[in-house]
Structure 1
């Protein structure tokens, strides 16, 4: 990349994953809000489950299923029949007893929830969400009735949300104890997830596209049976994790940086970055007249010093929706009985 920079007069902007410090640019996201905020989150969860199911039926690739299934704005389907289906699913889902119990215990007690705990919560209600989507898709003839009923039957084993809520209530006042309780249940959670993989994947006929024959290595589209099972498992078993990862990307999009050093005589840097002292050091002018061309436009080359802190940054998801419009933010924070108090965080529009 250094040679290309010299030859073409370009800079390589690295993603956070390419940087050698795993905590570089890392933000710890948590979820803490009232009952309405949680209801809004659960509503968008079933929107996204329905979107994932739709994309699977349309034979989307793995990348799309992992990164293109979050419905950030349900009204992007305005004047589309799919919008009516999503809105109906959302209203039915957030009034479901299990969903109401979870929204109540986490919202009424304003509990602070980590990414791992959120995945765990969503795993408990995922089957319910997927069954509701399949039933609605069957009703609207998006999927053959026989196929939908077969999948619903396979999915129709439920985890006790009531027991989960009771366990949380016993320790909700002590965040550390609640986290320890969740962690102690993690092994059971992973075993149940593994069980769901087997029950819903490996022993399941190919859903919707493909003949479902064990002897057939490839289906009619040239996709291997293994590839198709993997895609179906993304929707059926992995989606709580996929959804939470997309929530992070929604509030903190991909970012890229190019890094420089103020000094050219640091021995450790010559050793690490200059081929063990055999390379060269390039010196750049960053004065007021320096301009950097990005996407066909010339913009100021704004070089800033890096400030290293001792602690990672934390932010509350429900109060970090500033990338969305005010209408979209309100939709995310809308519950059965009105808008969440978290909406006040966005009262300063500027």
Structure 2
């Protein structure tokens, strides 16, 4: 049994290159058209141990970025890729550096308001969502920067400066004294209306923060090394959370196909306004589960590096659903080795183990659910995209880095390319180039069953259909 799937291609240069080299290009979520691609409704619920370690990680990364800011010149632009999210918390280039950070950490967590603040967050009964957590980080961000600066001055890494006119922890203490966290928990527990109102409030806080940052940028308040200053003072909390999500699941890439080619909007968007083409791909089937055989990295050798082989990639059917299932951050950290998990996240300085580490005792069950959630995020889109009738190949690995473009060009067998449909407005020159490439491949493969088709708009069905081009034959 075989199934046919359709892959629209638009850019003439890429079309010719992909046909010559006979590969399927996998794209990152950022390169796809839906901003919600790969979205996960991440929530944070945990005890004081994991929350303290969360802010330790935040402080560690902030100090690293601030040191880059101090040392860099105006030509170096700091980005979220510079945030050392995968580093261990005891990873420092020198003993002196480790001593400096230990001093920063002692001062930060030695402030009574900070420890009470973290304890209050850990006592929350409702799941903390992204905008709420961003608010909590922003409230202590100024104090964290001030702590780093004062420690740098103590060790004579920076000259002395005047004290801040405001006390960065005063607002934090006021929130604690007003018992805001317990009151908020009580409101949320009453009904969904209170929960939604609270989430909307935190969304407003975050939107205001972004608008303030934009106003400062537009007014040009800071002149020297402006982009880096804004990154440290305004952008860092959000960029830190972006990077932190990377420790949950490996990065993934996808290649999209459709179960039919009749939608004019799809041709307009993915087929370069009908000037592109549509590949007809014939899948293999195993018990009615379609897959494609592609050449990719299948292992590594210590002497010769990566070696390649043929692997079967399932064609997953996309689901079009509006809700996104919540994902508990502290129970989903799947990319870190066991030792780092225990040291950096699941234990405190007294070696007390967090209750969030209970999943370790049920690893087989947890791992099954872990990968199910991974597929859930990469195979769900909102109902707005339902017209695409999409199927998707997924490329991902904990061991292999697919960040380079070349590593994501996976070759397929020529026999899997059943035919090509020319778009309604495909230029004649492009058709000629494509026919020339396919002719050479058919000759090389001794193949005479390849078919070209011409797309047209059917006024009766109001859809795109195609006619075969039988005069284009291969001997």
User: Is TM (by shorter chain) over 0.5?
Assistant: yes
For the Cα contact (< 8 Å) 2:132–2:203, is it kept in 1? no
Match of 1:340 among 354, 363, 366: 354
1:156-199 Cα distance to aligned partner (Å, 9 max, x none): 5455113334222212134353663464466567667839986x
Match of 1:328 among 317, 327, 340: 340
1:145-294 equivalence runs, <5 A = 145-146=159-160, 149-150=161-162, 153=164, 156-158=167-169, 160-165=171-176, 166-175=179-188, 177=194, 180-181=197-198, 183-184=200-201, 194=212, 225=223, 228-264=225-261, 269-275=266-272, 277=274, 279-287=276-284, 290-294=293-297
| Higher alpha-carbon Rg | 2
What is the alpha-carbon distance in structure 1 between the residues aligned to residue 30 and residue 213 of structure 2?
A: 32
In structure 2, relative to structure 1, the CA distance for the partners of 1:278 and 1:181 (3 Å cut) is closer
CA shift at 1:203, angstroms?
5.7
In structure 2, relative to structure 1, the CA distance for the partners of 1:300 and 1:312 (3 Å cut) is same
What is the alpha-carbon distance in structure 2 between the residues aligned to residue 307 and residue 182 of structure 1?
A: 29
**Which structure has greater strand proportion?**
2
In structure 2, relative to structure 1, the CA distance for the partners of 1:139 and 1:253 (3 Å cut) is farther
In structure 2, relative to structure 1, the CA distance for the partners of 1:181 and 1:269 (3 Å cut) is closer
Partner in structure 2 of residue 141 of structure 1: 156
In structure 2, relative to structure 1, the CA distance for the partners of 1:270 and 1:190 (3 Å cut) is closer
SS at 2:126 equivalent: coil
SS at 1:322 equivalent: coil
CA shift at 1:36, angstroms?
1.3
What is the alpha-carbon distance in structure 2 between the residues aligned to residue 189 and residue 81 of structure 1?
A: 37
What is the alpha-carbon distance in structure 1 between the residues aligned to residue 147 and residue 363 of structure 2?
A: 37
1:44-123 equivalence runs, <5 A = 44-59=57-72, 64-72=78-86, 73-77=88-92, 80-123=95-138
Check if 1:13 corresponds to 2:51: no
In structure 2, relative to structure 1, the CA distance for the partners of 1:336 and 1:178 (3 Å cut) is farther
What is the alpha-carbon distance in structure 2 between the residues aligned to residue 309 and residue 95 of structure 1?
A: 49
Unaligned runs of 5+ in 1: 205-224
For the Cα contact (< 8 Å) 1:251–1:320, is it kept in 2? yes
In structure 2, relative to structure 1, the CA distance for the partners of 1:111 and 1:36 (3 Å cut) is farther
SS at 1:81 equivalent: helix
What is the alpha-carbon distance in structure 2 between the residues aligned to residue 268 and residue 231 of structure 1?
A: 42
In structure 2, relative to structure 1, the CA distance for the partners of 1:202 and 1:134 (3 Å cut) is farther
For the Cα contact (< 8 Å) 1:55–1:65, is it kept in 2? no
For the Cα contact (< 8 Å) 2:143–2:168, is it kept in 1? no
Structure with the bigger RCO (C-alpha within 8 Å, sep 6+) is: 1
Scaled by the length of structure 2, the TM-score of the pair is 0.59
Partner in structure 2 of residue 28 of structure 1: 41
Unaligned runs of 5+ in 2: 1-13, 285-290, 298-305, 365-475
Scaled by the length of structure 1, the TM-score of the pair is 0.78
SS at 1:347 equivalent: helix
For the Cα contact (< 8 Å) 1:251–1:321, is it kept in 2? yes
CA shift at 1:68, angstroms?
1.6
Partner in structure 2 of residue 214 of structure 1: none
CA shift at 1:30, angstroms?
1.2
What is the alpha-carbon distance in structure 2 between the residues aligned to residue 339 and residue 19 of structure 1?
A: 41
In structure 2, relative to structure 1, the CA distance for the partners of 1:20 and 1:320 (3 Å cut) is same
Aligned positions, number: 324
**Which structure has greater helix proportion?**
1
What is the alpha-carbon distance in structure 2 between the residues aligned to residue 185 and residue 46 of structure 1?
A: 22
Which stretch shows the higher mean deviation, 94-103 or 286-295?
Answer: 286-295
Which stretch shows the higher mean deviation, 26-35 or 303-312?
Answer: 303-312
SS at 2:90 equivalent: helix
Partner in structure 2 of residue 219 of structure 1: none
RMSD: 3.4
CA shift at 1:342, angstroms?
0.4
SS at 2:186 equivalent: coil
